[in-house]
């Protein structure tokens, strides 16, 4: 396993300009838990990119950000640092990178790579080789509701049902909250019950998805409009944590942005919830990222508080989902369909807060002539996807 990884990473070094230090590889492996396929994902992640990477070897503890205490390995950072003076939006950079990698056989597939590495039972770790200077590492935080049922990588049945489940959870959560508010108004003094409800409510909390990005800029465009509603000092960190909420009416997506105390160049953004609305229209009157997150600035963001990741529809479709049940669980929890059936894309899911993966054209294979891999194609170049899936299959065959 380790040899395989080492071999693959050596290949990376040879075939790309990627510069990787593997000092803490072993530690990452242990922290990345048991999913060997995930490591394979990591190992192949840079094949299509020229960005320089490093394994920083810093174990930056973001346990305060996540529910589960973790020591997050911090494998990637970009040498190509993103200056705070750089006026380019995140999506500008994406666009530039798209040109840079225009030779890709599947342009639509390029944009954003995310490689989930299972970290522990509560968190999913995402190593990303983002084609942008800021981005270095992503980390998905699963919901606390854990689906332990193993999910086949090719499973298509889980998605819709889990969508409904997630939706149900969300609705229940709202319902519980509303109920609680009523109870609090009408029945003050039922604290035990309220507490029990609170606990239940917490268990059904929205899934979160966190990104680590290397940037001097906190407020980068992701195309959505965010309103800052709070800022708090973080313990053991000189940098405050900012709280944002999607400004779209009825959309409860939140995000938290904070800077790492260990490495101030690292910005961590945690998304919570999923947008219940289409990607915002741009002033120019077309949908941002209609066919790809990188095709448009997508930024109507007057706010300066937008974060730096694309609003990727880049969630992995579960039928192409090469990841384990834990990861699927995470996806399932965040894959929410609306109650009226609008914006539902069965079999597809998206990371919370990451845009809208249900754009009609975006999900129609025939429009691009490219096989629809769901959101996966927005994350992984086709070659990587194939490698990943094959790797997963091989791993399963070995078992």
Partner DNA sequence: CGTGTTTGACCTGCGC
Partner DNA sequence: GCGCAGGTCAAACACG
Q: In the block, which residue shows the tokens 């969300």?
A: 170
Minimal distance, residue 303 CB to DNA, in Å: 4
Among 235, 284, 398, 399, which residue sits at the site for DNA (rule: CB under 7 A)? 235
Q: Give the containing element (helix H, strand E) for 160.
A: helix 157-186
Which region among 79-87, 88-96, 195-203, 389-397 touches DNA (by CB under 7 A)? 195-203
Beta bridge partners of 43: none
The smaller minimum CB distance to DNA, of residues 149 and 281, is found at 281
Distances (CA, A) of 137 to 100, 107, 346: 21, 22, 28
Q: Is 198 in the site for DNA (CB under 7 A)?
A: yes
Distance CA 171, CA 385 (A): 34
Exactly one of 247, 261, 368, 383 binds DNA (CB under 7 A); which one? Answer: 247
- Cβ proximity to DNA, 256 vs 319, nearer residue: 256
Contact call for residue 90 and DNA (CB under 7 A)? no
The burial of 86, by beta-carbon neighbours within 10 Å (0-12 exposed, 13-18 middle, 19 or more buried), is given as middle
Whole-angstrom CA distances from 76 to 196, 246, 264, 385 are 41, 29, 15, 20
71 near DNA, rule: CB under 7 A: no
C-beta separation of 257 from 306 below 8 A: no
Distance CA 367, CA 370 (A): 8
Closer residue to DNA in complex, CB, 226/356:
226
Under rule CB under 7 A, residue 176 binds DNA: no
| Nearest partner of 165 among 329, 345, 350, 374, judged by Cα | 329
Instruction: Pick the binder of DNA from 64, 179, 338, 339 (CB under 7 A).
Output: 64
Q: Does 304 bind DNA (CB under 7 A)?
A: yes
Binding status of residue 199 toward DNA by CB under 7 A: yes
144 by Cβ neighbours in 10 Å (0-12 / 13-18 / 19+) ranks as middle
Query: Which of 21, 232, 286, 371 is in the footprint of DNA by CB under 7 A?
Result: 232
The reply on whether position 209 binds DNA by CB under 7 A is: no
Residue 228 or 277 with smaller CB distance to DNA: 228
Rounded to whole angstroms, the Cα distance separating 393 from 42 reads: 16
188 forms part of the interface with DNA (CB under 7 A)? no
Pick from 195, 361, 364, 365: which binds DNA (CB under 7 A)? 195
Closest to DNA by CB, 100 vs 261, is: 261
170, two tokens: 């969300």
Distance in Å, CB of 260 to DNA, minimum: 13
Which residue, among 95, 98, 60, has the nearest Cα to 76 in the 3D structure?
60
Residues of this chain that interact with DNA (CB under 7 A) are 64-65, 184, 195, 198-199, 201-202, 219, 225-235, 241-244, 247, 254, 256, 302-305
């Amino acid at each position: 396993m380790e040899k395989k990884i080492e071999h693959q990473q050596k290949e990376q070094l040879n075939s790309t300009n990627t510069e990787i230090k593997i000092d803490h590889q072993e530690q990452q492996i242990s922290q990345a838990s048991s999913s060997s396929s995930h490591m394979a994902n990591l190992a192949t992640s840079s094949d299509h990119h020229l960005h320089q990477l490093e394994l920083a070897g810093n174990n930056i503890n973001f346990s305060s950000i996540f529910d589960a205490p973790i020591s997050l390995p911090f494998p990637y950072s970009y040498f190509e640092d993103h200056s705070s003076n750089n006026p380019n939006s995140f999506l500008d950079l994406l666009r530039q990178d798209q040109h840079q990698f225009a030779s890709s056989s599947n342009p639509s597939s390029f944009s954003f790579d995310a490689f989930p590495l299972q970290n522990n039972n509560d968190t999913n770790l995402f190593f990303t080789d983002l084609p942008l200077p800021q981005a270095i590492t992503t980390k998905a935080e699963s919901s606390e509701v854990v689906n332990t049922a193993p999910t086949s990588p090719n499973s298509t049945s889980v998605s819709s049902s889990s969508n409904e489940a997630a939706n149900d959870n969300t609705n229940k959560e709202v319902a519980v909250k509303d109920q609680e508010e009523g109870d609090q108004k009408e029945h003050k003094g039922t604290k035990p019950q309220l507490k029990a409800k609170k606990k239940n409510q917490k268990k059904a909390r929205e899934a979160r998805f966190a990104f680590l990005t290397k940037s001097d800029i906190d407020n980068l465009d992701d195309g959505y409009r965010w309103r800052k509603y709070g800022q708090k000092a973080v313990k053991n960190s000189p940098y405050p944590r900012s709280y944002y909420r999607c400004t779209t009416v009825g959309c409860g997506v939140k995000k938290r942005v904070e800077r790492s105390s260990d490495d101030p160049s690292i910005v961590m953004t945690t998304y919570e919830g999923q947008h219940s609305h289409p990607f915002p229209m741009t002033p120019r009157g077309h949908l941002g990222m209609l066919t790809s997150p990188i095709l448009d600035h997508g930024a109507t963001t007057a706010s300066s508080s937008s974060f730096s990741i694309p609003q990727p529809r880049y969630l992995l479709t579960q039928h192409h989902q090469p990841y384990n049940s834990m990861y699927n669980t995470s996806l399932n929890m965040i894959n929410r369909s609306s109650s009226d059936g609008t914006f539902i894309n069965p079999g597809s899911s998206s990371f919370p807060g990451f845009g809208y993966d249900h754009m009609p054209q975006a999900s129609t294979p025939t429009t691009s002539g490219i096989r629809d891999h769901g959101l996966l194609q927005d994350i992984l170049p086709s070659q990587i996807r194939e490698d990943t899936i094959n790797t997963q299959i091989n791993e399963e065959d070995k078992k």
